[in-house]
Every structure is written in C-alpha cells, then in structure tokens.
Structure 1
Amino acid sequence: MFDPQPTNPTARRLTCLFDYKWQTIERPESGGDWKTNKYPMRPRSLWTRWQDAATIIGVRFGTQTRYAMVDIDIGSDYHNADGLRTIQDALEMIGLVRSVLVRSSWSGGWHLYFPLPELVSSFSLACSLKHTLEAQGIAVKAGQCELFPNIKPYGKPWEVTEYNGHRLPLQPGSGSCLLDHNQNPTAGDLERFFWQWDFASKAQDMELLGPALEQGRELQRKRKRERPGKVGQWLADLRVELETGWTGAGQTNALLRAIATHGRVFEGLADDELAIYIEQMAYSRPGYHEHCNHQPQIPKKSKAWARWATRFYWPMGTPPKREVSTVSINDERRHDARQRIQWAVSQLAKAGQLKDTVSHRLAQLCQLAKTSAQTLYKNLDLWHPDQWCVIPQPEPVSPTKEACKETTSDPPKPLPDGPLHTLPPLLRCRPVTPLPKNLHPRGGEGVLGGERGFPQAEGRY
C-alpha cells in the first residue's frame, strides 16, 4: 500500500527521494531547537511543510538510501576550496566521483550530496564514508565534517535506533541554494537541483563502491570487537593519573596507589623492583616538587604500596595469585605497628629497663619501636601500665617435655633491614638468604626464590 503522492512532478521527485517518513525533524525558521515528530510524515504533508517558509523540515534515513551527504559548517577547517577538494578526493577513491554542492542555510554552511544510481545499505555506506575519510586524516565529527547517514549505535532488541536527521535542500526562506564550482551562490530551483543530481548519480563508479561498502562494514565490525573493554579502560584511567601527576595537596597516596597498580598489573613488577619503580615514577610525575608534601617519606611509602600491590594484584595475562581477602594496606600497617610495639616492650621488660610512668615509657617505645605517640595511644593494651602486665619468665631448669610445653615462645624479632622475598601461596615476606653457588639455577650466587615468578605483561608503553 503506497501513500498518496503530490500531483506536482517535482514535488513527487522530492518526496520519493527523501521518502523515510519516520522521526522527521523540524524547527521554526526564526531559530530554536530541533524537535522530532512522533507521527509519520506522509508525502503530501512533507511537500506542504517544505513549501512553508516559517518551518524548517528535515528527514532521516531508512535501511537503504540513494545518496550520502557531508555537512561542512561555516567554522569548519574544511570550509574552503582546499578542504572541500580534500574531502572530494578522498571519497573519489571509493567510487563517489561526482557531487552536488548546496549552501545549507543563511549561516553559510555547505551540504555536499553524493547521489547514487541505485539503493545501497545505509549502514554500510555510513561505515565506508567514515573509515575512508578518517584514513585520509579528515576529522569526522560535528562542526567539522559530519556524515549522513552516520554510524548509528545498536539498540536493544525492543528498541529502534534512528540515523541522524538533516534539513531538506533549497527550502524557500531557509537560505539554502545551489553553489557553483567556485562555491558561489547560483540561480536554480528544485528542477536544476535534480538535473545536477541525475548527472552526478550516473557518473558514480559502482564497481568501486560495491566492494568499498563491504570493506567498510567489515572494518567497523572488527573495530567494534577490538574496542577496549574494562581492562583497557582501567589502563587508560591509570595512564591519565600518571600523566597528570600532582595538581594539589593531599594526592600523594592516591597517586602512589595508581603507580603501584600500573607497575604490578601492566609492567609485571613485584616487591623491591616494584618499590623502585613507584619511587622513580613519583619523582618524575608533574607537580611533584610543587604539590607533594610527603617528599621525605616517598621511599618508605613506595615500599608499603609495593607490598600491598604485590599481595593483591598479579601481572596481566597470568593466573590469579591472590586469595579472597578483605585486608587493606591500613590493616597491614596496623598489624606491623603492633608487632613492633610488642617486640619493644618485651625487650625492655627482659632487660629490666621498662619505665613505670606513662610519659617515660612512651618516650622509650617511640624511640625503640620507631612509631609515633598517636599510634601508641591507639594500642594502649600493649604497653600502658594500667592495661599491661609483664608475664614472668620461668627460671631455667633442666629441659623436660612438660617445661617445654609451658615456656612461652620468643618475642618477635625486628624486621630485617635487607631485601624481602614473597613466598607463594601465603604471600608473606621472608628475608632473602643467599643460596650456595652449586644450587643456584644459573650456577652463580643467588637468593632464595630466584627471579620473579611472573612473566612480563604485554602492552608496555
């Protein structure tokens, strides 16, 4: 069933060419926002609206089309003879060798039409146009070089997505007119427009355009598959953090965390190597000297963040090495501080040097446990005279099984100053111990655990 057509032959030609009646757009000629019509625009109604100088009317594309159009705004880099020729030369490579140039409105923008002698897939044509122009370095975007039909997004199964709409050519009162080969306005009505249209459509090289449509769609399909997912977005976000650096105070821990994550996941580093990477990256980030208020603590903080990243992340492309845990770096620091306080109290108690007053004991522990008074007051149960008592050690006797069961274990030893090595699967640090030369996998002097057990991650930059 066909919709009734206008009686005027030129009007029928217009409505048959721009025949997609759904989701048409319009706005007052005096200005304002475009609005979308929710009802279908029948051919006779479209012709009536086109003749109305007070309303600007526009249409969209269906699944197939007989033309393509390039919109070049007045402020575009291509709104000149050289820019226009660049676009025309690029599209000539895929068989679009003739065009019709129209001034779109009083603003002076250009609409470059490429008529076709037969129907083609709108989506395939959109893909070919976009990838062809981008391959020639042309910026395909609104305000510069906008394409119709465009590559519309995929909708959900129950949704219908539409191509972008554009205004109709040569509408009375809109400022639209034909342009000559020097981009100057020239006289001509719809009949002249369609005469140029027919001439251009017959000149198109469909033998070139046919394969180009298939190639454009296939290229779009490949790019869609190669579009970065969550991991790619994660890497991009980390790179933004690293490239931006410090922009103000209070950003040190956040930036060190981002550096540690990047070094661990995407550079495959761990432990001491990761700590060095974090420290060196921090020194070289923009704004470090101006905004970082923790410059003396960077080496210490780098080691702490390296231990955290080594425990909770693994290099990209390797099997997960972390067990499910909710322990954070703050928990690790808290546990480490309590161990140091316990060890310091035990050493002073054994030597009989533990002071009785709170102030003197506080001063002792701050120095020996290398911690702050604030941390000590958070752990009063470990040292405060009112909440702590010394467990007397049994006097030496001949070793018996019962005595061995009752004696307490030795107090925790201080953390070693040398390098640490992470032992899987518990991911706990142990001091590095030299291996005998004859046991080292390469025949030389080595350390416990050998080299890093994780392969280098791909994607270094």
Structure 2
Amino acid sequence: MYLFSEPLPSDPLGAKLCQIFGTYRWETIEGDTHDATSPNWRTVKNFPLRPRSLWLRWQDAAQLVGVRFGTTTAYALLDIDAGSDYLRRLDDIKAALETLGIVRTLLVRSSWSGGVHLYCPLPKAVNTFELACTLKHGLEAQGLTLAEGQLEAFPNVKSYGRWWLGEFTEYNAHRLPLQPGSGSVLLDEHLQPTGAGLERFFWAWQFAEQSQDMDLLAAALKHGRDCDRKRPKLKHHPIELWRLDLEAEISEGWTANGQTNSLLKSIACYGRVFERLAGDELAEYVERIAVTRPGFFQWCRHQHQISRKARTWARAAERYYWPLGEAPQRDKSALNLNQERAEDAQARIRAAVVQLAKTGQLAECVKQRAIQLCKQARCSAKTLYKYLSLWHPEQWCVTPHGEGDTAQLSAAEEASVRSLDTPSAKGLHTLENFMKGVPPEGGYSETFSPGERGGAGGERGFPQPAGGA
C-alpha cells in the first residue's frame, strides 16, 4: 500500500488505479483519441498530476493519459508494437521473464492499433533502475533484443542527468491500461479480448502479484545492475589484487639504491601469506628470491649481509602476517623494529667475541677490544656499550662446553658467525673513525663514557699491572 500526501479518489477502482500507477506524478503525458495511430502525445511539465485528477482524466474518453516511473516501482511492462516479430514469440518472452522470477503476467491490448502491453505486477516495490537493467539484460540473454518499434521495456535503462547542472533524466512514459475510448482491453493467451473492466484487471493483477518469485527476482536485480555498469566492478577479489601487486613489485626487483628493505618486506609478506612458509624456510625463501631479482648486484648495498636481513624480515613477517585461509595470528605485542635491531646487534656482538676468542685475537685492553668489536660486529661504539655483559673483560667470560673451551651459541648466533667476514677471506678495510692518528669524532672522551672505559679514572677499567706502565 502506497501512502499519498494527496487524497485518493472516492471510487475504490480509482483509488486502486492511483495506488498502482500514480506513485510518481511529475512529467505525465497526455494525448488525443481522434487518431489511434498518432495520439499526439504531450508532456505536462508545469505541475504534478494529483491522484483525483489522474482518475478524472482516465475516465475521459476524449483524451489519453500516461505516467512515468519514480525511484521505486511495483510493476513493469513490455511494449510489443503491432507488426513486430515478437508478437509471435510471446511464449519465449514469458519464459525469459520466469528466469528473472516474474512468473505471472497480464496481457493487454494497448490501443486500437493492435500493439500489446505485457504487465509484470510485483507484490512490493523495487528499485526502478535495477529492474530496468534486469529486464534489459535478462531478455537479451535469451536472444530477445530491446528495440524501438519492436520490443520496449518500461522502465527503461535511462542515462544519468548532470545533476550539478540542474539536469534530471526521466524514465520513459507509458499510457494507462483499459482507458475508455482507447481500444485497450484484456487479452487471453491467444490474443483474444476478454474484457475491458478494471475489476477483472485488478483481480488478475493481484493473482499475478502473489505468484512472483521475489527471492529469485532479488538475485536477478543485483546481477542485472552489475551487468549494466559502464565501469564494471573489479572482477578480482581484494586478496587477488594484493597478490598481483606484490608479484609486480617483486618481479621488477631493484631499480635504484635504498630499495632493499621495501623489497625484502614484500618478498617476506608474499612468502608468508601465499607460499605459507615460516621459520627457516621463510628466511631461505626471502634470500633466494632477493638475490635472483633484477638489479640486486647493481643496486643493493646490503649484499654482504643479505642473509641476516632476510632472517630479520622473515621474523617480522611471520609475526605480522599469517597464511591465507588460516585464522589471524598477528602478535601485535611483538611488533617492534627496534627490538629486532637490538637482538640482531647482540647476536653480532656475541658472534664477534666468540670468533676473536677462538682465534686468540681478542684484545685484553678495553679500548682495543671495543675497536675490534666495532669493526668485526659492524656496530657503533654507542651500541657496543649498551651490552657490556656481552664483551667487557670484567663481565664476560667463555662458558666451558664439554671437554673443549668453546662458547655456547644459539642458532641465530652461529649463523651470524658464519656470515662474518674472516680476515683470510677478504682484505681488511680500516674504518675511518678508528684509523691510526685519526681520533673518533668528538675525541675518545665522548666515544667512551668515563665509567665504562679502562685506564685511570675508570671504575670498570681492566686491572692495571702493579707499579703502572
């Protein structure tokens, strides 16, 4: 039941007519009945047609009246002109409508010319534009092409008006059924007249409403609207787009300096989510893919530490992402890049200390040991002095293991030992900050804190031999 701000006609048939066809009262059309082939249709633009006026004009045999569709509608109709080939394919048209959920229809002769209107009543209102798209694409899918003068659908698929310029596009208008003097009558399946009364028309209308499959129609409306998009929605799922974006970035590799971390992150993400890797397998995957990307040897400045960086990004990806299809496993409490860097620095310091101790090259003097470790562990003095317990002579010692005198190392530290460059493998390059005769920037007094350096004044300094130097 539609609600109207304007009063309805007192006649129940007139009220029912306005409830069905009078929901949108703007831009109505009117014509003459003098010539059945040329009604001379005109659009009423000055004012909306009120329900009682619509009923009065419908009763006037000297004029014709028609209406348009609003944003929602509870019916549709197909217009098949006289002489159209589709008059012989009514069964095909009805069968096509059934695939959309429109099971029952009403067949009406539209005028004396012999054309027919096939009405499709609905038990509740639906979106007009979606219904128009559904009719168009549903019929075309069955080989029934909409064309002017042959087969037309109401509502039609209208174009959008430029609302920012004050333009508004209306749906096409159609004449009202069974108007006196118009030649409109109800037809049976053999196209024979069965009557022109509104009572029979509304009885058939109500029966058709109750027979429609609205669940099927609802699905068809969504599909029909999607089919009519000028810019179709992306067919790819967002996850598939994510995969394609990562593959595109990884496949191109390095094109300039400063891209290592970004690429390693993308590789680790891809390996974790789409390859479902974890642990050492993920780290090995990141390294293997990275070194085979274009531009790695030309642009990557971390080639000497690619294994370590691959492990770092693999651990980060494993904590942040999870394999596709599994329950979310993000450990937000562990997501701390600074912590990752700190753990990596500690592992390198431990590995450097053990390697120097094994070869007997670990200096006894605190200052010399610090210089050794800064070069061997590739870290700054500031970082080194954060972890005194790992290397300072007063706080560090080699833990006996078995019969030997080797240090106990974790798997990560052992990997760090293997990754360190040995003196025999490559030439030694003296760091600029520790070159002979060139003191560190700011002097050693700023590089080593007073309470942490050896020698005079250092509370934690290495014990001096008796009697001094």
TM-score (norm 1): 0.47
Question: Larger relative CO (CA 8 A, sep 6+): 1 or 2?
Answer: 1
Structure-2-length-normalised TM-score: 0.47
